[in-house]
A = this chain, B = another copy of it.
Amino acid sequence: MTKTSSGNFFEDFRLGQTIRHATPRTVTTGDVALYNALFGARFAMQSSADFAMAAGYRDAPIDDLLVFHIVFGKTVPDISLNAVANLGYAGMQFLAPVHAGDTLTALSEVIGLKENSSRKTGVVYVRTRGFKNGDTAVLEYARWVMVRKRDEDAPAPGDHVPRLPTAVEPRLLGAACPPIDAAAYDFSLSGSPHRFGDYRPGEKIDHVTGMTVEEAEHQLATRLYQNTARIHFDNHSARQSRFGKRLIYGGHAISLARALSFDGLANAFHIAAINGGRHVAPLFAGDTVFAWSEILATSELPGRGDVGALRIRTIATKDRLCGDFPYRSGDDYDPAVILDLDYWALIPV
């Protein structure tokens, strides 16, 4: 009997099943430094403890996406080691700020199962929650992923497709953001004068700069998150994959696009929710990522006069400037697009 885990196959999941993931992980300023070195983020709130404490946090908050990557990484050995494809996210809410010294854990519940007609694979829907220091939820999201069956003849373990929100409602935003002292928020130090009222639905912003990814960089990132998907760092196996080479973890593109978006969205300091995300095309080492954003909606937050929410679509491309806002091309995406992300960010009013 082997002690090596081969991960779960489609027929191993059960509706309502709860999976407590290994490995607990204390987040440190060391992780923050590496995250900064990988993406060059410049949002003042995460960059400066002084700035964050003046604004209302008890310390600089850990970048929301770093929290997500670490929580996501924990789920890989149990949920997606035998995945064929990551299909989507929905209803991702950030629920409490995370600071250096907090220990993150993760728990997933199987909320849907749907065998594919080929009977070779099935779609697994999970709701994952990340916690700090035992029981304080910091993050919650639904995710669905196509998973191989070990045995094609095994009966389907269930047949239920959950109803998932297409967007997080504004009333659910802001739990991870303490009351912000607008008077103490320094718009000169933050790098831009633009606040909530300056953005309009339909507005498009080119984030201008590109960032090239090296193999060493995305490997460092993936391992930092303890993400065990070998396609990202095992080139011997990757050479035999359909890509013929290592595939960059999809979250890397999200973090690059977010970091680039500082140029135009400098005060949108907190990702409060991710409504949905689609990895339209794969990203490989040597590619240069560019990004642009459209303001889809703006919303005040019930009961809060300090911050408002911008619903933003950020599109990332590879090896293509975004001055003309490439997105759709007929029914399909522009061939340069790699990421279509829909999220809510908070910004001082």
Q: Which residues of A contact B (CB under 8 A)?
A: 2-6, 20, 22-26, 28-34, 36-40, 42-44, 47-51, 60, 77, 101, 103, 105, 133-134, 188-192, 194, 198, 205-212, 214-217, 219-224, 226, 228, 230, 233-237, 246, 263-266, 286, 288, 290, 319, 321
Q: Are A222 and B263 in contact (CB under 8 A)?
A: no
Q: Are B288 and A236 in contact (CB under 8 A)?
A: yes
Residues of chain B contacted by A30 (CB below 8 angstroms): 28-34
Q: Are B22 and A266 in contact (CB under 8 A)?
A: yes
Contacts A/B (CB < 8 Å), 8 sampled: A3-B198, A5-B192, A24-B47, A28-B32, A34-B37, A40-B222, A40-B223, A236-B288
Residue of B nearest to A235 (CB): B212
Residues of chain B contacted by A32 (CB below 8 angstroms): 28, 30
Residues of chain B contacted by A246 (CB below 8 angstroms): 212
Q: Are A233 and B44 in contact (CB under 8 A)?
A: no
Q: Are B36 and A33 in contact (CB under 8 A)?
A: no
Q: Are A44 and B22 in contact (CB under 8 A)?
A: yes
Residues of chain B contacted by A20 (CB below 8 angstroms): 188-189
Residues of chain B contacted by A3 (CB below 8 angstroms): 192, 194, 198, 205, 264-265
Using known A-B contacts A32-B28, A32-B30, determine if residue A220 contacts B288 with beta carbons closer than 8 Å: no
**A25 CA to B41 CA in the complex, in Å?**
11
Residues of chain B contacted by A26 (CB below 8 angstroms): 47-50, 60
Using known A-B contacts A32-B30, A103-B48, determine if residue A233 contacts B221 with beta carbons closer than 8 Å: no
- The A interface, classified by DSSP as helix, strand, loop or mixed, is mixed
**A101 CA to B236 CA in the complex, in Å?**
38
Q: Are B212 and A38 in contact (CB under 8 A)?
A: no
Using known A-B contacts A26-B48, A28-B30, A217-B220, determine if residue A206 contacts B264 with beta carbons closer than 8 Å: no
Residues of chain B contacted by A217 (CB below 8 angstroms): 216, 219-220
Q: Are A220 and B103 in contact (CB under 8 A)?
A: no
Q: Which of B2, B51, B226 is in CB contact (< 8 Å) with A40?
A: B226
A53 to chain B, nearest CB (A): 10
- Beyond contacts A4-B206, A37-B220: 6 other A-B pairs, Cβ-Cβ < 8 A, are A5-B191, A26-B49, A28-B29, A40-B222, A49-B103, A236-B290
Q: Which of B38, B43, B44, B215 is in CB contact (< 8 Å) with A223?
A: B38
Q: Are A47 and B188 in contact (CB under 8 A)?
A: no
Q: Which of B77, B198, B210 is in CB contact (< 8 Å) with A236?
A: B210
**A246 CA to B321 CA in the complex, in Å?**
17
**A2 CA to B265 CA in the complex, in Å?**
11
Residues of chain B contacted by A31 (CB below 8 angstroms): 30, 33
